[in-house]
A and B are shown apart, each in its own frame.
Chain A
Amino acid sequence: MKHVISVTVENKPGVLARVSSMFARRGFNIHSLTVGPTEDPTLSRMTVVVDGPEMEQIVKQLYKLVHTVKVTEYGPGEAIEREIMLVRVNADAKRRGEILDAARVCEAKAVDVGAASITFEMTGTPDRLADFLQLMSTYGIVALAKSGRIALARDQKTLKKSQKSA
């Protein structure tokens, strides 16, 4: 099962190396890792998607790094999760219309149209991206770039409401 961890770290040189080195040394598997600034310029946020059963150890080992400020593990539904991807699909003139229709339904945006292919940009939940890729695979995927997941906790109020309604 994949887990999403949000790690707030001090924005210091080498902090990404410290985190990834710890994962490598302890034999923890990283599915994806993204890093970027936060609302506080002295802090960065890493969103790590990990595989495997050692969640408790991973969180504890992350906390052991001196530059780690906070580690949050998100259970299903606790966070808004997004990924971005660029995907180039085989598309000759005959099938172009059909592909563009499918993309519209999936809310993927054509960002480059060539003689034999179309490149789409798509942002969404990992599931929606996977669905679109599945659909496009019938036409042939030429190239793919994915960002890895980013996540933010849901507002506590919204969270409670959605839990109630769920």
Chain B
Amino acid sequence: MPEQLTGAQALIRALEHEGVDVVFGMPGGAILKAYDPIIESPIRHVLARHEQGAGHMASGYAHATGRVGVAMVTSGPAATNLLTALQDAYMDSVPVVAITGQVATTSIGNDAFQEAHTWGMSMPATKHNHLLTSADDIPDVIREAFHLASTGRKGPVLVDVPKDVLTATMTWHRPGQINLRGYKPAVAGHPKQVKAAVDLIGRSERPVLYVGGGVVAAGATEELAEFAEMLGVPMVTTLMARGAFPDSHPLNLGMPGMHGNYAATTSMQRSDLLITIGARFDDRITGDIKTFAPEARVIHVDVDPAEISKNRFADVPIVGDAKAVLKQLIAEAGRRGRQPQRTKWLAAVHEWQETYPLEYVQDPEGPIQQQYVIEELHRITGGDATIVAGVGQHQMWTSQFWKFEQPRRWINSGGLGTMGYAVPAAIGAKVGTPEEVVFAIDGDGSFQMTGTELITASFENIPVKIAVLNNESLGMVKQWQNLFYDGRLSQTELSPHVPDFKMFAEACGAVGLRAEHPREVAAVIEQALAINDRPVLVEFKCDPEAMVFPMVPAGASNDEIILSREEFMSREDAS
């Protein structure tokens, strides 16, 4: 006997069929009907306090687990609130499925209560989207959404569900075969190009493996390690690729680019071959693109053909999944036998590392340096934590100073640079990997954007830990004003008094801790790690004047890398 379901029941069942174990969201008028079958469903629902938070939670979940994160919210303002999180996931290729309520199909276009043109607004912020018009389509459309989100270049997919589609009755059926004529994501690379790549590698004298988030997304980190060791070539790991290759490995130079370390940035500049895998020549990596890596030829492996030769011409383009292509490259390189030694190149790179390490000085009398907190946190956890950052100075310091050894243990907003990402993304990550210690490292400015999600963490029993590196300012913007606007600070100083982060945490049902002096840092971290039945927030009163170095000024060539404030000032004086 065919089973009759409401559209709402069919929607929740379709999510169950996709193996969804948690939905992050918030109910409201148009989506109300879908919240009724949630009561009986085995799917856990995490009630966010703001729809942007729900979206970042889904993203954090997806980063930590590799599975599709799901957010469900109502129409109108809820859908517009979600947009930031969708654009964020789109820029970083994070698999997210968003379900939004919509006014009834009969009211669409009427400026009905809580109506927004979600389909139109989300179109440029998603990989694909769909406005449902019939309850019968639900199983197929949901199947399609998960397929699109999780294959090829991953990304967010939105399904807009009008109220009358949720209330209509349909005969339940399992989804049919996916029928997307124009969607055929590449898997294996072209064998001819693979051969050409290995040829080029064999002839290169100063190669660098330039690795981006695509390697993590493709689950290709083991293949990457095998290939890197086989070649013996130094590697840079972009902001999105931290953890794709162990930082403890001598070939890993760390992060290149605007706040990358000297060796990573300069090795790319001096290279004669960039072996690019799952990276996209973002402006934060290349600086002025015209003067970027002037002597380098480029091998570019990417699952998205549109990334190849978009910003930088690729001499050898390879369209394919990073894991599949790395296997092909390994096999081909294996057939060729020994790689050239490149002793001189490795020595040059090593010398840059030795001469220009990342540095800071912690005065034992204070103020607390942000880098010191990160290093202490790493020491005390033994590095065994999933680290989630907001956006700003703290994010750059964390990427620089944390030693990442595994993929999916570093979660941040790269492409969009969404302040406020850390707290909700940490919640999502903790829900997805409850056995891991999830520590958000946030700035005071970034935290204040979405800090109310701490209430979600308490209420839903999600014991995340949050370090707020409080420098009483919008530090990164202040840094630019200090360096490039003659120190004329405009709207970048936040209050040293409000909010009281400790009291704020307590008010949200979390434990609030504070360290004001370097000697208190280790103790509060130990304390925070000992609490596992509630969320914990630790405020570190940090140096308001600290700046992130190295730095390549926006639009400048990577050759103009600034190593310290003193060096910048002496350059200014000289000019």
A interface with B by C-beta (< 8 Å): 9-10, 13-14, 17-18, 21-22, 25, 56-57, 60-61, 63-70
Q: Please pick, from A9, A57, A67, the residue contacting B306 in the complex, using a CB distance under 8 A.
A: A57
Q: Tell me if A25 and B124 are in contact (CB < 8 A).
A: yes
Give the chain B neighbours of A65 by CB distance below 8 A: 182
Residue contact B182 to A69, C-beta cutoff 8 Å = yes
Query: Does A66 contact B183, Cβ atoms closer than 8 Å?
Result: yes
Q: Are A66 and B306 in contact (CB under 8 A)?
A: no
Contact with B123, one of A21, A56, A64 (Cβ below 8 angstroms) = A21
Q: A14-B119, A21-B123, A21-B124 are in contact. Are A56 and B309 (CB under 8 A)?
A: yes
Known contacts A66-B180, A66-B183: A57-B310 contact under CB 8 Å: yes
A37 to B16, CA, bound (A): 38
Per-position 1/0 for B167-184, Cβ under 8 A of A: 000000000000011110
- Residues of B within 8 Å of A60, CB to CB, are 305-306
Are A17 and B123 in contact (CB-based, < 8 A)?
A: yes
Interface residue tally for chain B (C-beta within 8 Å): 17
**For the complex, is B140 an interface residue (Cβ under 8 Å from A)?**
no
Cβ of B304 within 8 Å of any chain A Cβ, yes or no, is yes
Q: Is B48 located at the chain interface by the 8 A CB criterion?
A: no
- The CA-CA distance from A18 to B120 in the complex, in Å, is 9
Contacts of B305 in A (CB 8 A): 60, 63
| B128 on the A face (CB < 8 A) | yes
B123 touches A66 (CB 8 A): no
Interface contact A68-B182, CB-CB below 8 Å: yes
Q: List 6 A-B contacts (CB under 8 A).
A: A10-B181, A21-B123, A60-B305, A64-B304, A66-B128, A66-B180
Q: B119 to chain A: which residues have CB within 8 Å?
A: 14
Nearest-neighbor residue (CB-CB) of A12 within chain B: B130
| B148 in contact (CB, < 8 A) | yes
Please measure, in the bound complex, the distance between the C-alpha atom of A122 and the C-alpha atom of B183, giving whole angstroms: 39
Which residues in window 89-144 of B have CB below 8 A to A? Answer: 119-120, 123-124, 127-128, 131
5 further interface pairs, Cβ-Cβ under 8 Å (given A60-B306, A61-B306, A63-B305):
A10-B181, A21-B120, A64-B306, A66-B128, A69-B182
Chain A residue, CB-CB nearest to B152: A64
Min Cβ gap A27→B in Å is 12
- On chain B, the residues within 8 Å of A18 by CB distance are 123
Chain A: which residue is nearest B307 at the CB level? A60
Question: Bound complex: CA of A64 vs CA of B309, how far in Å?
Answer: 15
> Would A66 and B148 be within 8 Å (CB), given that A10-B182, A25-B124 are in contact?
yes
Which 7 A-B pairs give the minimum distances between C-beta atoms? A60-B306, A69-B182, A66-B128, A68-B182, A25-B124, A69-B181, A66-B183
Q: Which residues of A contact B181 (CB under 8 A)?
A: 10, 69
In angstroms, Cα B306 to Cα A14, docked, is 23
Distance of A141 from chain B, by nearest CB (Å): 36
Against A, the Cβ 8 Å flags (1 = close, 0 = not) of B132-162 are 0000000000000000100000000000000
Q: Closest residue to A56 on the B side, CB-wise?
A: B309
In the complex, what residues of A have CB within 8 A of residue B124's CB? 21-22, 25
Cβ of A14: which chain B residues have Cβ within 8 Å of it? 119, 131
Which residues of B in the span 277-328 have a Cβ within 8 Å of any Cβ on A?
Answer: 304-306, 309-310
- Chain B, residue nearest A24 (CB): B124
Contacting pair B182 A66 (CB below 8 A): yes
Given contacts A67-B182, A68-B182, A69-B181, contact A17 B304 (CB under 8 A): no
Within the complex, what minimum Cβ distance (angstroms) separates B262 from chain A?
33
In the assembled complex, which residues on chain B have CB atoms less than 8 Å from the CB atom of A9? Answer: 182
How far is A21 from B128 in the complex, measured between Cα atoms in Å?
13
- CB closest residue in chain B, given A68: B182
Measured between alpha carbons, how far is A67 from B127 in the docked complex, in Å?
Answer: 11
- Note all chain A residues with C-beta closer than 8 A to B183: 66
Minimum C-beta distance from A19 to chain B (A): 11
Contact of B120 among A10, A17, A63 (CB under 8 A): A17
Q: How far is the CA of A56 from the CA of B310 in the complex (A)?
A: 9
Which of B123, B127, B182 has the largest count of A CB atoms less than 10 A from its CB?
Answer: B182
Min C-beta distance of A82 to chain B, whole Å: 26
In the complex, how many angstroms separate the beta carbon of A71 from the nearest chain B beta carbon? Answer: 9
Please, which residues of chain B bring their CB within 8 A of the CB of A66? 127-128, 148, 180, 182-183
Chain B residues, CB < 8 A from A56: 309
- Which residues of B324-349 are within 8 A (CB) of A? none
Residues of A within 8 Å of B131, CB to CB, are 13-14
Bound-state CA distance A14–B119 (Å) is: 9
CB-defined contacts of B120 to chain A, threshold 8 Å: 17, 21
Q: List B contacts of A57 (CB < 8 A).
A: 306, 310
**What CA separation (Å) do A21 and B117 show in the bound complex?**
14
Q: With the chains together, A47 CA to B131 CA distance in Å?
A: 26
Residues of B within 8 A of A68 (CB): 182
**Nearest CB of chain A from residue B549's CB, rounded to whole Å:** 34
Q: Which residues of B contact A13 (CB under 8 A)?
A: 131
Distance, CA A153 to CA B180, complexed state (A): 25
Taking CB as reference atom, which chain A residue is nearest B120?
A17
A35 to B179, CA, bound (A): 23
Which of chain B's residues has its CB closest to A43's CB? B181
CA distance A67 to B129 in the complex (A): 11
Residues on A with C-beta less than 8 A from B128 are 66
Query: Whole-angstrom distance between the alpha carbons of A122 and B490 in the complex?
Result: 62
Report the separation of the CA atoms of residues A60 and B120 in the bound assembly, to the nearest whole angstrom.
Answer: 22
Can you name the residue of chain A whose Cβ is closest to the Cβ of B144?
Answer: A66
Query: What B residues does A64 contact at CB under 8 A?
Result: 304, 306
Closest chain-A Cβ to B247's Cβ sits at a distance in Å of: 34
Q: How far is the CA of A56 from the CA of B306 in the complex (A)?
A: 8
Which residues on A sit within 8 Å (CB–CB) of B180? 66
B178 CB to nearest A CB, Å: 11
Return the chain A residue nearest B123 by Cβ: A21
Q: B182 — which chain A residues lie within 8 A by C-beta?
A: 9-10, 63, 65-70
A12 → chain B, closest Cβ, in Å? Answer: 9
Of chain B, the residue at the smallest CB distance from A58 is B306
Query: In the assembly, what is the distance between CA of A61 and CA of B304, in Å?
Result: 10
Chain A nearest CB, measured from B305 CB (Å): 5
CA distance A25 to B306 in the complex (A): 15
Tell me which residues across on chain A come within 8 A of B306, comparing CB atoms. Answer: 57, 60-61, 63-64
Q: Nearest CB to that of B308 among chain A residues? A: A60
Q: How far is the CB of B420 from chain A (nearest CB, A)?
A: 24
